Chain A
Amino acid sequence: MERSEWPLWEIFIRSQHGLAHKHVGSLHAPDPEMAIKNARDVYTRRNEGVSIWAVRSADVTATAPGEKGPLFEPANSKIYRHPTFFPMPDEVKHI
């Protein structure tokens, strides 16, 4: 008998309104609806979220470790791009 694995899904959860969805992990499921339901049971057992996204892992395009140099290093020397030259009020969260 053929035994095929269910596809892998990447799960993103928004923990509260106003925040962005955050990657929390991955799981197996036969289709999108079951991926959402499994994510509900695996990742929101302790009331962690208000919204769930499921994306097939195969559909994620990722950077290759070898491209790290050309992609990210040029930004290192440009400190003027970082928002560190002005004070932030304490009340501003999630920056």
Chain B
Amino acid sequence: MTEDRRVFDYLLRLADSDLVLAQRLGEWVGHGPVLEEDIALTNVGLDLLGQARLWFAYAGEVEARFAEAGRSEDALAFLRDSGEFRNLLLVEQPNGNYADTMARQFYFDVWHQLLLVKLAHSRDSRIAEIAVKAEKEVVYHAERSADWIIRLGDGTDESHARIQAAIDDLWMYTGEMFDPDEIDTPLAEEGIGCDLRALEPAWREAVGSVLDEATLTLPGGTWMQRGGKKGVHTEHLGHMLATMQWLPRTYRGAEW
């Protein structure tokens, strides 16, 4: 695999996780538990959508170096099938109840921030620039989701039970975040990507200390579900993409 192809795939992983999570958060529009939360959570979704656009735009430029032409942001987002998506399995999981949504967000935000801090020093200056910009937003996301974990965990008996269940259920999707493959490893060695294994201790510590404050228990399971980065997804992604991609696929070239 050529260097450019590797970088292209790497950028899709970053973009797709942002895009898929943004779409999931968008599903909460008009359904949030209170008006303030509805606005706040979808703000996070909008941040992630903006970041996805930056990664897609750069991915298209990199693609043009080895393909006949690079695809546009829209083509990458709306005209690929689930097998071509490279997002983490974690972010495609359904919204469930608010605890499920917050547990998913918390696991992702903590990892996302650690990742972007590393990518801000990437030898690829475009990756570094996007990471610096995105990290400012993600610091806030991570604070917000940690706040919610603490409030739900240390809240009522019912909120405690629900958030612990969500934390436990989603645990098996977290291993993939620290599992480098034949794309991650060479890019990390060249200083373009990030050493995923090195993120795990800091992630566990950050997650553990918030769960501690929330009177929740860090799950101990060691079996992890994998495949998102290779395009092997859970059954949920296809349904989500059908909703997300229906309009641009039905009305090709449709504009506002």
Which chain A residues have a beta carbon within 8 Å of chain B's beta carbons? 6, 27-31, 33-34, 37-38, 40-42, 45
- Whether A33 contacts B147 by the Cβ 8 Å rule is yes
Nearest B residue to A27 by beta-carbon distance? B36
A-B residue pairs, 6 tightest by C-beta? A41-B40, A38-B36, A41-B43, A27-B36, A41-B39, A42-B39
Given contacts A28-B34, A31-B151, A37-B147, list 17 more A-B pairs with CB under 8 A. Answer: A6-B34, A27-B35, A27-B36, A28-B36, A29-B36, A37-B40, A37-B143, A37-B144, A38-B36, A38-B40, A40-B140, A41-B39, A41-B40, A42-B36, A42-B39, A42-B40, A45-B43
Give 22 pairs: A residue, B residue, CB < 8 Å, sorted on A: A6-B34, A27-B35, A27-B36, A28-B34, A28-B36, A31-B151, A34-B147, A34-B151, A37-B40, A37-B143, A37-B144, A37-B147, A38-B36, A38-B37, A38-B39, A38-B40, A40-B140, A41-B36, A41-B40, A42-B39, A42-B40, A45-B43
**Segment 31-46 of B: residues with Cβ below 8 Å from A:** 34-37, 39-40, 43
In the assembled complex, the CB of B174 is this many whole angstroms from the nearest CB of chain A, namely 25
B161 nearest CB across to chain A (Å): 14
Docked complex Cα distance between A37 and B151 (Å) = 14
Given the complex of chains A and B, what is the CA–CA distance between A31 and B39 in angstroms?
A: 17
A41 nearest CB neighbor, chain B only: B40
Shortest beta-carbon distance from A38 to chain B in Å: 4
Count A-B contacts at CB 8 Å. 29
Residue of B nearest to A39 (CB): B36
- Kindly provide the distance from the CB of B118 to the nearest chain A CB, expressed in whole angstroms: 26
Q: Which residues of A contact B143 (CB under 8 A)?
A: 37
Q: Which residues of A contact B39 (CB under 8 A)?
A: 38, 41-42
**In the bound complex, what is the Cα–Cα distance between A45 and B39 (angstroms)?**
10
- Looking at the assembled complex, report how far the CB atom of B146 sits from the nearest CB atom of chain A, in whole angstroms: 11
Q: Tell me which residues across on chain A come within 8 A of B40, comparing CB atoms.
A: 37-38, 41-42
Cβ of A31: which chain B residues have Cβ within 8 Å of it? Answer: 151
Of all chain A residues, the one with the shortest Cβ separation from B150 is A33
What's the nearest-Cβ distance from chain A to residue B126, in Å?
A: 25
Min Cβ gap B77→A in Å is 23
Q: Which of A31, A33, A38, A40 has the most CB of B within 10 A?
A: A38
Residues of B within 8 A of A34 (CB): 147, 151
- Determine the distance from Cα of A30 to Cα of B148 in the docked complex, in whole angstroms: 11
- Residues in chain A near residue B34, CB distance under 8 A: 6, 28
Residues of B within 8 A of A42 (CB): 36, 39-40
A28 to B34, CA, bound (A): 8
For B36, list chain A residues within 8 Å (CB): 27-29, 38, 41-42
> In whole angstroms, how far apart are the Cα atoms of A26 and B247 in the complex?
38
Using Cβ atoms and an 8 Å threshold, which residues of chain B touch A30?
Answer: 151
Residues of the A chain whose Cβ atoms lie less than 8 Å from the Cβ of B151? 30-31, 34
Q: B35 contacts which chain A residues (CB < 8 A)?
A: 27-28
Cα(A86)–Cα(B35), bound, Å: 49
CA distance A40 to B147 in the complex (A): 15
